């Protein structure tokens, strides 16, 4: 019975207050271990984005019969090397002109000739994903939604 009475709530609070600075220091140290890599990664990405290429949609024109289309893009950023062009929601489109590994400088316009491989007509109800690299080899993905003519910001991969 004496042992139970010896652990009064006041004693527990005094013991916890004596060790509180160790608990706070440990929590602060763990927080630093989590935040330092996050901060370093964001600083690195912001430096890379400053030298990134930036493609803008100039025009997308579909031929009257709907079998062919022209996609014109302009690079407003630094030098880019085109890697790939993929179409979402469309599997029957091909790019007729060679574009892979082409270097696109600042202010240069790229025209891509698209052709449908089946009898389906080309409509503006799909999105195109452009993969390209900058001069230092960083890979980017940029999505173009043709139905709304919106070119999303490039994402660093």
Write the DSSP assignment of 16-83 as a string of letters.
HHHTHHHHHHHHHHHHHHHHHHHHHHHHHHHHHHHT---EEEEEEEE-TTSSEEEEEEEE-SS-EEEE
Q: Please indicate, yes or no, whether residues 86 and 123 belong to a single structural domain of this protein.
A: yes
Nearest residue to 68 via CA among 88, 96, 108: 96
Tally the domains of the chain: 2
pLDDT at 46: 65
Structure tokens at 133: 């690299």
User: Of 145 and 151, which is predicted with more confidence?
Assistant: 145
CATH number for the domain spanning 84: value is 2.60.40
> What average pLDDT does the chain have?
81
pLDDT at 78: 84
Give Dmax over CA atoms of the chain in angstroms: 97
Q: Please indicate, yes or no, whether residues 26 and 92 belong to a single structural domain of this protein.
A: no
Q: Please indicate, yes or no, whether residues 44 and 66 belong to a single structural domain of this protein.
A: no
Q: Please indicate, yes or no, whether residues 88 and 144 belong to a single structural domain of this protein.
A: yes
Domain span at residue 110 reads: 55-156
Helix, coil or strand: residue 19: coil
For the segment 38-58, what is each residue's pLDDT rounded down to a tens digit?
A: 887 777 666 656 667 888 888
Q: Please indicate, yes or no, whether residues 130 and 111 belong to a single structural domain of this protein.
A: yes
Using the structure block, give the residue that is written with the tokens 């009257």: 64
Flag whether pLDDT at 2 surpasses 80: no
| Overall average pLDDT of the 95-115 stretch | 86
Q: Please indicate, yes or no, whether residues 64 and 82 belong to a single structural domain of this protein.
A: yes
Please report which confidence band the pLDDT of residue 60 belongs to, taking 50, 70 and 90 as the band edges: confident
């Amino acid at each position: 019975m004496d042992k139970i009475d010896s652990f009064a709530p006041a004693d527990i609070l005094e013991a916890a207050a004596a060790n509180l600075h160790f608990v706070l220091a440990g929590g602060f140290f763990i927080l630093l271990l989590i935040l330092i890599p996050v901060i370093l990664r964001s600083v690195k990405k912001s430096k890379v984005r400053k030298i990134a290429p930036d493609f803008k949609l100039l025009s997308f024109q579909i031929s009257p019969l709907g079998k062919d289309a022209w996609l014109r893009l302009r690079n407003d950023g630094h030098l880019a090397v085109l890697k790939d062009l993929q179409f979402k929601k469309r599997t029957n489109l091909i790019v007729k002109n060679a574009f892979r590994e082409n270097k696109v400088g600042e202010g240069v316009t790229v025209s891509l000739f698209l052709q449908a491989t089946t009898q389906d007509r080309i409509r503006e109800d799909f999105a195109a994903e452009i993969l390209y690299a900058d001069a230092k080899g960083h890979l980017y993905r940029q999505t173009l939604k043709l139905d709304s003519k919106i070119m999303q910001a490039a994402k660093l991969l």
